[in-house]
Amino acid sequence: MRSLLCALLVGLLICGGTAEAKRSSRTAHTSPQTPPASLHCEGDKVVWVNTRSHAYHFEGDASFGNTRHGKFMCQQDADKGGFHQPKRHH
């Protein structure tokens, strides 16, 4: 019985951890980020670029710093890099 319990415990640790650990790792991916202090956009706006959709978001937008795949950059650099403002559905 003891070896079965040990095997189950080891399996849990190897195959996915606890539900709490899974919840906190999910939360870490969706918590809003803030622009790094080293990013300076003189006369330009800081945007959050979603590297999957190639859309960028301004501060105040729900997606600003809040998508799984993205980074902060200056709007002019985002435009030069082929990124665009998101298409809005009305």
pLDDT for the residue numbered 31: 61
Residue 83 pLDDT more than 50? yes
- Selected residue with higher pLDDT from 28 and 90: 90
- Residue 65 CA, chain-centre distance (Å), reads 7
Asked if 39 and 9 sit in the same domain, the reply is no
State the average pLDDT over residues 74-85. 96
What single-letter amino acid sits at 63? S
Asked if 6 and 47 sit in the same domain, the reply is no
pLDDT per residue over 16-70, tens digit each?
544 444 433 343 445 678 888 788 899 999 999 999 999 999 999 999 999 999 9
Asked if 15 and 44 sit in the same domain, the reply is no
Asked if 17 and 59 sit in the same domain, the reply is no
Domain housing 72: 32-90
Residue 9 pLDDT more than 50? no
Asked if 19 and 37 sit in the same domain, the reply is no
Asked if 16 and 40 sit in the same domain, the reply is no
| DSSP letter assigned to residue 11 | H
- Selected residue with higher pLDDT from 87 and 48: 48
Domain count, the chain: 2
In sequence order, what E strands does the chain have?
A: 46-50, 55-58, 70-74
